[in-house]
Chains A and B, each alone.
Chain A
Amino acid sequence: MSVLNLKDITKKYGELAAVDGISLDMERGKVLSLLGPSGCGKTTTLRIIAGFTSPDTGTVEIAGKDVGHLRPYERNVGLLFQDYALFPHMTVAENVAYGMRHRGTPTSEITTRVLRMLSLVQLTGMEARRPHQLSGGQQQRVALARALAIDPQILLLDEPLSALDAKLRLELRLELKEILRSVGATTIVVTHDQEEALTLGDEVVVMNAGKIAQRGTPTQIYEAPADKFVAEFVGRSNWFHASKRSQSTDGLTSYVADDGLEIRTRASRPDSEGGVDLCVRPEDIELVDGTAPESAPSPEHNVLAGVVLDVAPLGADVHVVIELPGKSRLLAIRKNVGRGSEILPGQSVRALFSASDVLVFQR
């Protein structure tokens, strides 16, 4: 049975529809990431589920019951705010106990549950501290413990890690995932950070302009994006625009890009007025020395010759920017395999990528 069921939710602010006819259902115990750029309606959706905003049309059902007429405090929805919203005049223990106090949990039970929650988020011994005495990561965990303490039917996380610095964010992301898994909380993570969405979510819902662009597992979202927006928003990508299709042979379709390059793809789309957009992920591109005799590994491979413009070694990966004859640029990401195989700016190279790695989107 689905824990959460949104049907045709629309919310307009003036002329602008922040949420435009969204339907969404969620199973118990799953983690769903709501991913999208700012202004795509993800926060409004979250506020509608929590009960802070009432939708213009549509219904919100939690555990099969319509909660549209219920105030936030009458629903059983836990919320982790972006700025944590810890009560500054209360201790850590009082913060965690706050929800249970107002939901009529017996005092004796509150004390033991506060301790259990704090041990869950690894803050045992911090009961008497005040929020301002804690680090950002600790504050975040107190906020999580406070939201989980009321044993919510749904847990909503609003940009849970955005207030932290990059290194801490990585650590806490894994920790957060473990905690959510161990508690088994039905969770919606609202975020604009794709890594956060893809690592935390069992499923990802990509939103754009108030609508759901795609829903799928992290792998589906990345490898089979539903449209150009999703492909562009999730992950890095190289784009070619082609208005002409040359021919199809052996299940391969050749497109001639606007800058004259010929690109073969496995995927075929019917012709359209505006042409098509071709997308290649940078990690699917292999680079070989341009002075070696040309030899494609298979007829399926695209081979583009170019000159290395920039090399950026970013730890495990090396980002290489190549300038193609038509002045367009190509980003290739290769593993940092160490000495002997360095690519230098100015070097001429050939970029190889398989036709099955080329995504085609209609305009």
Chain B
Amino acid sequence: MRSKRNADVILAVSVTAIIAVTVVFLLFPVIVTAFMAFDAREFIGPFPPTDLSTQWFVKFWNSGYLWSGFKNSVQLAVAVTVVATAMGASAGLAISRMSPRWRDLTTTAFLSPLVLPGVIIGFALLMFLSVFNVLPVFPRLLCGHLIVTIPYTIRMTLVGLTGISATLVEAASSLGANERQAFFTITLPLAKNGIAAGAIFAFAFSMDDVTISLFLSDYDTYTFPVALVGLIRSHFELTIAAAAVALMGLTVVLLLALDRVLGLERVIGQGVYRT
């Protein structure tokens, strides 16, 4: 008996230890980055920094190159979010009304871009678009990002819709609501969380993507991640760490705002409307 008890204790301790190690492993790079962003040294020295300063933030603030990329990225991400959400939600709603056989087939067709690596999508799109060579860079980037984000917004809309029983719409109908009214009072409010989750994903993907954007950017128009990659290649210094910290701050603010508006639990958890 005693030995079994001991085994339990050992097991519990090791599980805790594994969790701790995993957390440190996941957060350590973030912590290092956060500290290094405040490094007072002029070069990338060993961790931890010997002295603290905000010089990298000042550099980041004054870097026209990075700001231009940031501005492009935000504009692009907003455009991607709007278009991908509108198209994905419409497609998802349409797919959910299909017969099961067509539903699976269409969903698979729509999700197929996800199996391709971004490099291939970026390169293929670059080749395709240079044949016609009419689109400016911004719409090109928009196309590239939409290919990957629309499958996600469709998927999330479908996930959001799965919990909604078909009898709800019938109930609305028997109570006197026509198709349009039933859609706006029942289907859309219930699918809202799935659609919102898709929108968040689209925004995050667009802000983060390097592989596709790298192929579609040019000298004048580039995204923030592309600018960061360019910077770390040309100047090996810590402005990028400051930029990363600034981005983290922005993310936290965005998440807090979303939590206030929608309730983060609901957007991510998707479990509220299950009864």
Interface residues, chain A, with chain B CB atoms under 8 Å away:
50-52, 71-73, 77-79, 81-83, 85-89, 98-99, 102-103, 131-132, 146-147, 150
Residues of A within 8 Å of B273, CB to CB, are: 88-89
Residues of A within 8 Å of B174, CB to CB, are: 50-51, 72-73, 77-79, 147
Q: Which of A81, A83, A89 has most B Cβ within 10 Å?
A: A89
What is the bound-complex CA distance between A348 and B165, given in angstroms?
Answer: 56
Answer yes or no: B234 CB below 8 A from chain A CBs: no
Answer yes or no: B46 CB below 8 A from chain A CBs: no
Residues of B within 8 Å of A85, CB to CB, are: 165, 167-168, 170-171
Q: List the A residue with the shortest CB-CB distance to B166.
A: A85
Residues of B within 8 Å of A83, CB to CB, are: 165, 167
Summed over the interface, the residue pairs from A and B with CB atoms below 8 Å come to a total of: 64
Answer yes or no: B231 CB below 8 A from chain A CBs: no
Q: Which of A81, A82, A150 has most B Cβ within 10 Å?
A: A81
Q: List the A residue with the shortest CB-CB distance to B163.
A: A88
26 example contacts (A-B, Cβ-Cβ < 8 A) are as follows A71-B173, A71-B178, A77-B174, A78-B174, A79-B170, A79-B171, A81-B167, A83-B165, A83-B167, A85-B165, A85-B167, A85-B168, A85-B171, A87-B186, A88-B275, A89-B190, A99-B176, A102-B172, A102-B175, A102-B176, A102-B177, A102-B181, A103-B175, A103-B176, A147-B175, A150-B176
Answer yes or no: B100 CB below 8 A from chain A CBs: no
Distance to closest chain B CB from A94 (angstroms): 10
Answer yes or no: B189 CB below 8 A from chain A CBs: yes
> Per-residue 0/1 for B140-180: is the Cβ within 8 Å of any A Cβ (1 yes, 0 no)?
00000000000000000000000001011011111111100
Interface residues on B, range: 10 to 19
What is the bound-complex CA distance between A78 and B173, given in angstroms?
Answer: 10
Q: Which 8 A-B pairs have the closest CB atoms?
A: A99-B175, A85-B171, A102-B176, A85-B167, A79-B174, A132-B275, A72-B173, A103-B176
Q: List the A residue with the shortest CB-CB distance to B182.
A: A73
What is the bound-complex CA distance between A83 and B181, given in angstroms?
Answer: 22
Distance to closest chain B CB from A117 (angstroms): 13
What is the bound-complex CA distance between A146 and B176, given in angstroms?
Answer: 12
Residues of A within 8 Å of B189, CB to CB, are: 89
Please judge, given known A-B contacts A71-B178, A72-B174, whether A87 and B168 are in contact too, CB under 8 Å.
Answer: yes
Q: Which of B175, B177, B186, B190 has most A Cβ within 10 Å?
A: B175
What is the bound-complex CA distance between A132 and B271, given in angstroms?
Answer: 12
Residues of B within 8 Å of A78, CB to CB, are: 174
Residues of A within 8 Å of B181, CB to CB, are: 102
Distance to closest chain A CB from B274 (angstroms): 8
What is the bound-complex CA distance between A50 and B170, given in angstroms?
Answer: 10
Residues of B within 8 Å of A98, CB to CB, are: 172, 175, 177, 185
Distance to closest chain B CB from A157 (angstroms): 12
Residues of A within 8 Å of B178, CB to CB, are: 71, 73, 102
